[in-house]
Structure 1
Amino acid sequence: MDFKSSDTLTSGAITGPRAQDVLPATAAAAVKVVIVGGFGVGKTTMVGSVSEIRPLTTEETMTQAGIGVDDNYGSETKTATTVAMDFGRISISEELVLYLFGTPGQERFWFLWNGLFEGALGAVVLIDTRRLQVSFDVIGRLEEKGVPFIIAVNDFPDAPRHPMDTLRRALDLEQGVPIVHCDARHRVSSRDTLLTLMRYLHSLSATKT
């Protein structure tokens, strides 16, 4: 699942922002959210589909160097990969804006995660049920950092469907962690996933007061 309309960061001239890229004057709070997951699960696609500004990506063409290193099962036709981050923005309301940071999925780029997790209020963990195992380290790192997260099952056409309880056990999740289905290609589905994260974060905050 690739989003082909995003802008790639380059060293070219920087132009001024478009009118639709300017932060709304009514915005009172901005929150950092990370979109994480293994290689090829749809992180760039989700950021691109839901962002109200032109998403920025750091995608590079995949080369022979990744053969035997990157696990591309289920993404054999993928020709580009994120090497630093994806960035987008969505206004949840007139007052609340989410800044979205998509992480690189390959293990050789995981050293970048610590910086991307810094200051994040929460995370969406995108999973591909054909490759659940690539999600274990992702979830473990979020738990180590104390970043609350939800699970979003990206519904690839040929991916197996599992009952939520089966997924929860397989991923060793606490009972309260939400699991939702989504289609990262579609704006409404991606937006609803982010709203689920916001509701979950609100519920966690309420239990602490």
Structure 2
Amino acid sequence: MRILVIEDDLHLADNLRNALEKERYSVDLCHDGEAGLFHITEYPLDMAVVDLGLPKIDGIELINKARAQGITIPILILTARDRWQDKVEGLDAGADDYLTKPFHVEELIARCNALIRRSAGKANPEMTAGPIKIHTRSQQVWVDDKELSLTAYEYKVLEYLMVNPQKVISKSELTEHIYDQDFDLDSNVIEVFVLRLRKKLDPEGVLNPVETLRGRGYRLKSQW
């Protein structure tokens, strides 16, 4: 999953990136509202974290303009303002949730997880597809109640497929959502991750959990 953090405090932005990357998110950073607005409207994202007190374009204006352009990803606002009116203004602009500074990073991560699940219609952190079960908070994976050990990117591929059931996901879309923005989008590394993931989910080759649709991409098996 790919998150955009728009925060002009460079130290805080770096801390948030490090914390989110430890949770296996891919993270893009912008440090002013103008760059943030361009990024949120031009790049594929799963969520944005937006500070309200941004230079060039403030967070409220940024959210208003993004929503006016049809951007529907979840947005969490950060604010150092403790007036309830500021929080209401942010939510009315189109934000989905807010945190008041200072905050615990663990709470921000939990809210990000919840917003992404909710946007995919998954209120529960535990998701299942046939014999496969994942817990998005602990990032554990089971098949027939046997826990598997996946690499970070194998897990990211599986989680993205689980969050988007029935959808055909192209190789480029997978790459864009699990890697940072400067990754080589022409790389065939996704094919390697999918192959390894299949072997771990289905070592006997009987389930075919990840289907390949030639020329289109991948899809989690629709019928079990």
| TM > 0.5 | no
The structure richer in helix per residue is 2
TM-score normalised by L of structure 2 = 0.41
For the pair shown, the structure with the greater C-alpha radius of gyration is: 2
TM-score normalised by L of structure 1 = 0.43
Q: Which has the higher contact order (CA 8 A, sep 6+)?
A: 1
